Structure 1
Amino acid sequence: MYPVLYTDMSTDVVPATGAPSDPDAGSSPASPVSRRERVYLTIRDELMSGRVSPYERLTEERLAERHGVSRTPVREALARLLADGIVVKRESGLHLYVPSFGELTDLYELRITLELRGLTRALEDPTVHHDRTRLEGELDHWYGFRDDRPAPDAGFVTQDERFHFTLLDSSGNPALTQALAQTNRRIRSVRMYDYLTEDRMAATIDEHIGIAELVVRDRLPQALEALRAHVGASREVVMERAAAALEMTRMMAREEQR
């Protein structure tokens, strides 16, 4: 599992770290997951499972009592969830974020446009070349996942973001890359639903490897079609699961109003 949900791909994402003296930090440096990390993962999974209504105000006190911990790791978990986009701040406080389908559709259109542009600009301009060294390094990273496939985990979204960020950034236009990072931040919470099953994990790994290999071999037209199909398939899965999650929250809201 890859529980840490933060990478250096975007300046608006900051890793949560703690002083060794913090009683809610892991007691052993060798511990694979600290207590504060477990609190974050537990609350994140609770929110994504549909067990929490978007109308429920998320407070440190209530969550700390529910999970039997102090307020410190809960406060840090909420800050991370806010950065992930899973939680949003409203006038009444923090709540589970539930995007509209219109917003998701628009943002996915933007994401696809940005990602494909990294390849089309190289097809249109012979002076544009992808950074093969970076792509080969990313390929090695994904070969590792193919050889030792991780278990389904919502946090794998950051590995996916890293791939697409590197692929676009290697084409040499940092403005496109920055726009993609901002777009990813806005849809990250929903895209997490794409990594909850074995088949989607396997498909993501295999398709990433296939796309990167095509780019490294200068087979850009084929890479363009593979990338379009890959992002499109991800969009269909995410929209389907987001619809189910949205319907669940609506049912919970109706129950609460009775």
Structure 2
Amino acid sequence: MDSTLYTRPDAIPDPHPGTAPTPAQGTAAPALTPGTAPVQAPVAAPHRTASSVASLREAVYARLRTAVLDGDFGPRERLAEMRLATRFGVSRTPVREALARLLTDGLIERGDGGLFVTIPNLAQLKDLYELRVTLELRGVARAIEDPSVRHDPAVVGAELERWYAMRAQPPPPDPRFVVQDERFHAELSRASGNPALTDALVAVGERIRRVRMYDFLTRDRVETTISEHIEIMEFVRDGRLDDGHRALRAHVGDSMAVVLERARRAMTQMALHTDRL
């Protein structure tokens, strides 16, 4: 498995290397406490350019967005500007701007005392799961309905190889396995050749990731997912689209009752791990 999906540095790279103070020659840099992100010295304002400031803003937004989606913050953890600025080694301004964008994205929300990660309620999850199922199936259905629509063999083949490798060496149970699952479904959709459909599917996946990640806490669940992904993609590769459509429907939930039960189960798992429903 690509470990880069699971680890990443939090500090934002300095847009002007060499301008920040460094330890004197022969002096060791101060050691970091395990589990803490490195903090960079502030960059002198006169050296900033408009492009570097924009780059820094995007970097902070991207890092913070990834942290929110990956479940780095608890549901009751306030997203405080100063603490986040220290974490990323930047001033509060780019953090404030990133939080404003995440608020617009719907990934965080205002609550008592500040900003917190958005957690969909059961009714919202029901609607989002229904939309996800519709988008998932449409990618294969459009190829069944229109013979001119063909799945890209390069995309299908590459994704199959990735899952064959995981079948040979299954990853341990981990909530962040949901990222691998989302990538499979996005690639399956992308192979069908409708970018708008894929973008919509990715957006829905991100909105329910915080709950879905608790659906991958057992080895059996992970290994079953791997087997089902391979079966679906092999059907598509071999042109057995009707079989692929049926397998995909069974995989993502073939009725609202199944979808709702899966949402309830995920919410229950999240409650057990975060002490919050």
Q: Same fold (TM over 0.5)?
A: yes
Cα separation, 1, equivalents of 2:134 and 2:203: 14
Compared CA separation, residues 215 and 148, structure 1 to 2 (3 A): same
Amino acid at match of 1:88: I
**1:207 aligns to 2:228 (yes or no):** yes
TM-score (structure 2 length as normaliser): 0.64
Runs of 4 or more consecutive aligned structure 1 residues displaced over 6 Å after TM superposition = 73-80
Deviation at 1:226, TM superposition (A): 0.6
Deviation at 1:4, TM superposition (A): 4.7
- Note the alpha carbon deviations across 1:18-76, whole angstroms, 9 max, x for none: 33889xxxx9xxxxx99469xx69x94672xxxx54xx534366789xxxxx5437999
State the match for 2:143 in structure 1.
122
1:253 corresponds to: none
Aligned CA distance change for structure 1 residues 2 and 193 (closer, same or farther; 3 Å): farther
How has the CA–CA distance of structure 1 residues 220 and 242 changed in structure 2, closer, same or farther, with 3 Å as cutoff? same
Q: Are 2:153 and 1:132 equivalent residues in the alignment?
A: yes
Partner of 1:10: none
Work out whether residues 193 and 238 of structure 1, in 8 Å CA contact, stay in contact via their aligned partners in 2.
no
Other-structure match for 2:126:
105
Does residue 243 in structure 1 map to residue 268 in structure 2? yes
Q: Percent identity?
A: 45
Alpha carbons of structure 1 residues 107 and 207: separation in structure 2 relative to 1, 3 Å: same
Change (3 A) 1:195 1:177: same
Moved more, 241-250 or 225-234: 241-250
Partner of 2:13: 19
CA displacement 1:86-140 (0-9 Å, x = unmatched): 9613164222432111111111111111110111111111111111121011100
- Residue 150 of structure 1 aligns with an amino acid whose one-letter code is P
* Counterpart position of 1:186: 207
The corresponding residue for 2:110 is: 90
Q: Which runs of 5+ in 2 are unaligned?
A: 21-28, 30-34, 39-62
Q: What SS class does the counterpart of residue 18 from structure 1 fall into?
A: coil
Larger relative contact order (Cα-Cα within 8 Å, sequence gap ≥ 6)? 1
Q: Which residue of 1 aligns with 2:189?
A: 168
Distance 1:202 1:73, change over 3 A: farther
SS at 1:249 equivalent: coil
Alpha carbons 2:137, 2:248 under 8 Å: kept: yes
| Matched residues, number | 218
What are the within-5 Å matches in structure 2 for residues 216-235 of structure 1?
216-232=237-253, 235=259
Q: Per-residue displacement from partner, 1:170-220 (whole Å, max 9, x unpaired)?
A: 111111111112111211111111222211110111111010001001111
Task: Answer yes or no: is the 8 Å Cα contact 1:143–1:209 preserved in 2.
Answer: yes
Instruction: Tell me the SS of whatever aligns to 1:203.
Output: helix
- Quick one: structure 1 residues 35 and 148, their matched pair in 2 at CA, closer, same or farther if it must change by over 3 Å? farther
Aligned equivalents of 1:195, 1:106: Cα separation in 2: 21
- The root-mean-square deviation of aligned C-alpha atoms, in Å, is 3.9
The two structures have a TM-score, normalised by structure 1, of: 0.69
Q: Which has the larger radius of gyration?
A: 2
What is the identity, as a one-letter code, of the residue corresponding to 1:89? E
Q: For residue 133 of structure 1, what is the amino acid of its counterpart?
A: A
Unaligned runs of 5+ in 1: 7-14, 28-32, 65-69, 251-258
